[in-house]
Each structure stands twice: as structure tokens, then as C-alpha cells.
């Protein structure tokens, strides 16, 4: 099977901080992969490398045809931890704008949006401005925005962080629906129970290294344990480093993410459309 995305001996450093060290990882079509690790493990840095937001200090991140991922963002759907919606636009206007930036017609974008909005109970909210949305509603809108252009790979960074139980369950249901349809999802989380519910392959990241990569059953067999929690503890006995890769601040990163995936056109700039939540 030819992988959709391959990381070859990828390292990423920020000054003296070595966030990731010689990572080898292969993402195949139809997989739901959980990136599991504590804060500071390197999960978000790994996602940003796969999205082309970061350039590796060394190594390569390549798509199936050998092209660098930074040249092919249209095949990626990305939901960052901070959603970065335009607050003066409605949910559908945010989604439509993003889709147009990917060259997708409004008709096709609406068809995909309506399909997934039904799973997320969002149909009645697509015409509402996002300024007054709850965190859960913003997260659902960001998911719809990421799916509307028909990406080959969906990257989710802590998609249920801060959500209530019902919203988190709805997001997991959507990921399971994508799995049934043959979608490919990379799901970053620090919740082992959540990863076990939605992922058929788990990659444990700790202190910038990949400590394990396989199905939940395989991880249990390799560690001779009876639960994923015990397996995780056995594989990460050294103390976790503090979270440092985000020291530049969430607001600054959100700005980078928007410039890469939803650059503001002059028309909106002249209208003074606000960014933010």
C-alpha cells in the first residue's frame, strides 16, 4: 500500500529545544491514527509539520507523489486547537470562504457541508454569525470548514479539548463516520480512552520521540499489560518535559495558521472583517 503521507527522519528544533528527533512515520489511506502524549510531548509540532506550517530542521515530509506537503495543502483538512473563525461571518460564510480558497465551487462545498452538518446537528446554525458561538459550536464549524473541500487527510489537534460531554461525543461520532467511509484522520489527543474509542492505530509520542506505533492490541502485547494506560506508563517512564513548543503564543500561531490556510483577501480587509473568536 502506497502511503498518503511519509515522514523520513524528521527533526524539529527551536533554538536549543529539540521538539522532535528523527521521526519516521507513515500514514496510509483509510487509517484513523491517534497521536497520544502529554503536553510538551511534540504532538502539535508533529501535526504542524504534517500540515506544512513548520519546515523540518532536518528530514522530509512527503505526500504520496513525492511532493513536499507544503506545496499540496489542498489535500489536507486541518482543525487547529484554536479555531480561528471570522467572527462577523456566519458559519456557512466561513466555510464557503475557506472552500473558495481551495478552488471548490459553492455547490460542491455546500453539498459536503450539509452532509456532515447533519451528523453534527449544525444545519440550523449555518446561517448564524459565529461571534456568539459556544466553544463546541466553533469547534464543529471548524470541522465542517476542514471537510468542505474534500481533503484526503484530516488533521485534528485536540478536537474535543474543552468541549462538553455531548459535543465531544458528537465529534467522535463524526470521526467514526469518516472511518466507515474510508477517510484518513490523524487525531491528536492526550486522552487514551478517547484514542481507543476512535482510532485503529495509536502512535505514542514522548519527549520528542515515537515510543510505540500500532493497534491497541499490539501495544498491550508488546508491553505485556492489560490496559492502554498501563502500556502508556510502561513506554514513558522517563519524566515528561514541560510544554515549550508553544511559547510563541496561541494568538501568534493562529495568525500563522490563517495565513497558510485562509489568507484574507483585499475585499475582506477593506471591509474591516475581524478575525478571532
Is 144 part of any domain? yes
Q: Is residue 272 in a domain?
A: no
| 244 domain residue, yes or no | yes
Higher pLDDT residue, 252 or 102?
102
Alpha helices in the chain (DSSP H): 43-51, 91-101, 106-119, 135-147, 165-180, 192-198, 216-223, 228-235, 250-261, 266-271
| 265 domain residue, yes or no | no
Q: Provide the number of structural domains found in the chain.
A: 1
How many C-beta atoms lie closer than 10 Å to residue 218's C-beta?
A: 14
pLDDT in tens, 99-134: 998 889 999 999 999 999 988 889 999 999 999 898
275 falls within a domain: no
* CATH code of residue 53: 3.40.50.300
Question: Does 252 reside within a domain?
Answer: yes
Alpha-carbon distances, residue 134 vs 11, 72, 88, 130, 157 (angstroms): 37, 32, 15, 9, 18
**Exposed, middle or buried, 159 (CB in 10 Å: 0-12/13-18/19+)?**
buried
The answer to whether residue 271 is domain-embedded is no
pLDDT of residue 249: 43
CA-to-CA dists, residue 230 to 7, 33, 221, 227, angstroms? 28, 20, 12, 5
Average pLDDT value for residue range 159-176: 84
- Distance from C-alpha of 170 to C-alpha of 160, rounded to nearest angstrom: 9
Expressed as residue numbers, the domain containing 180 is: 5-260
Is 118 a domain residue?
Answer: yes
pLDDT grade, residue 158 (50/70/90)?
A: confident
For 39-95, what is each residue's pLDDT tens digit? 888 898 998 888 888 899 999 988 877 777 766 667 788 888 778 899 899 999 999
Amino acid at each position: 500500500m502506497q502511503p498518503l503521507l511519509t515522514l523520513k527522519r524528521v527533526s524539529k528544533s527551536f533554538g536549543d529545544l529539540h521538539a522532535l528527533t528523527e521521526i519516521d512515520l507513515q500514514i496510509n489511506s483509510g487509517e484513523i491514527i491517534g497521536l497520544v502524549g502529554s503536553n510538551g510531548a511534540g504532538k502539535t509540532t508533529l501535526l504542524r509539520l504534517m500540515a506544512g506550517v513548520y519546515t523540518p530542521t532536518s528530514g522530509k515530509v512527503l505526500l504520496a507523489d513525492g511532493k513536499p506537503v507544503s506545496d499540496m495543502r489542498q489535500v489536507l483538512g486541518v482543525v487547529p486547537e484554536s479555531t480561528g473563525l471570522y467572527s462577523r461571518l456566519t458559519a456557512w460564510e466561513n466555510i464557503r470562504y475557506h472552500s473558495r480558497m481551495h478552488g471548490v465551487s459553492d455547490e460542491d462545498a455546500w453539498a459536503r457541508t450539509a452532509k456532515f452538518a447533519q451528523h453534527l446537528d449544525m444545519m440550523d446554525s449555518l446561517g448564524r454569525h459565529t461571534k456568539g458561538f459556544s466553544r463546541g459550536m466553533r469547534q464543529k464549524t471548524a470541522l465542517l470548514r476542514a471537510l468542505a473541500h474534500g481533503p484526503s487527510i484530516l488533521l485534528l489537534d485536540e478536537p474535543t479539548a474543552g468541549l462538553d460531554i455531548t459535543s465531544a461525543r458528537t465529534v467522535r461520532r463524526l470521526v467514526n463516520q469518516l472511518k466507515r467511509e474510508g477517510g484518513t484522520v490523524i487525531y491528536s489527543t492526550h486522552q487514551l480512552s478517547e484514542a481507543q474509542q476512535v482510532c485503529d492505530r495509536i502512535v505514542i509520542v514522548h519527549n520528542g520521540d515515537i515510543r510505540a506505533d500500532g493497534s491497541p492490541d499490539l501495544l498491550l502485547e508488546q508491553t505485556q499489560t492489560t490496559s492502554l494506560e498501563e502500556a502508556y506508563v510502561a513506554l514513558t517512564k522517563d519524566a515528561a518535559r514541560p510544554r515549550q513548543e508553544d511559547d510563541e503564543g496561541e494568538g501568534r500561531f493562529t495568525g500563522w495558521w490563517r495565513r497558510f490556510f485562509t489568507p484574507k483577501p483585499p475585499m475582506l480587509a477593506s471591509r474591516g472583517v475581524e478575525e478571532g473568536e
